[in-house]
Amino acid sequence: MNRLHVTRIASLPSTAAEVPTLLDSLNVAFQPIASVNWPAEYPYCPEAAFRMAWCCDGLVLHCRVTEQSVRARYGEDNGNVWTDSCVECFVRNADDDTYYNIECNCIGTLLVGVGTGRHDRRRMSADVLAGVKRWASLGDVAFDERIGVTSWEVALVIPVSLFGEHPIALEAGAVLCANFYKCGDELAVPHFLSWNPIEVATPDFHRPEFFGTLLLD
């Protein structure tokens, strides 16, 4: 099981565009999202990685990807962003069954849900999602699939208010369980990558038993 020590920051940055520079200044390394869990059917492995930091007011997340095509059909929150070029963070308290799924396409469009499994998700409201600051290197305008190797980045400033329905422990020494994903269900070459390996027969990210561990420094 993967384990990651998560760097503490003094406060959340005022804009998401500041996140990459902030994490660079703290020498926060990228972690690969590179587990190809279903190689027989979905062997493609684009380059994908994430890094993150925390404070008592929330989390910051920075992802970067290079893939052979890119799509951002969904430009409004709570759409089917997992079918686009998408990165995801699923997270819960270590002693809790309830987890959040934070899904973000390559232009910063979000879908966030909470629940104990795939079939009981409750999506966050537009007002709650509006509190998440986003930056995307490809801008924020939706587009259909573009064939050709493309590199892109997204950064999020996720306030603790996003976790208001079911609080996540953001305090020094806390242990969280999480997994990070790169997918593109409807791209020319679909793929389903994870940070921590998933040992089931068919693609399924809603498997908290395969989450890795985050240790909040």
Query: CA quadruple 50, 55, 59, 60: dihedral positive or negative?
Result: negative
pLDDT in tens, 52-96: 999 999 999 999 999 999 999 999 999 999 999 999 999 999 999
Domain positions in the chain: 3-211
pLDDT in tens, 142-197: 999 999 999 999 999 999 999 999 999 999 999 999 999 999 999 999 999 999 99
pLDDT in tens, 121-148: 999 999 999 999 999 999 999 999 999 9
First to last CA, the chain: 19
CA distance 197 to 206: 13
Torsions phi, psi for 100 (to 5 deg): -100, 140
| pTM of the shown model | 0.97
Torsions phi, psi for 33 (to 5 deg): -105, 90
Q: Which fold has domain 3-211?
A: Immunoglobulin-like (2.60.40)
Please state, rounded to an integer, the average pLDDT across all residues of the chain: 97
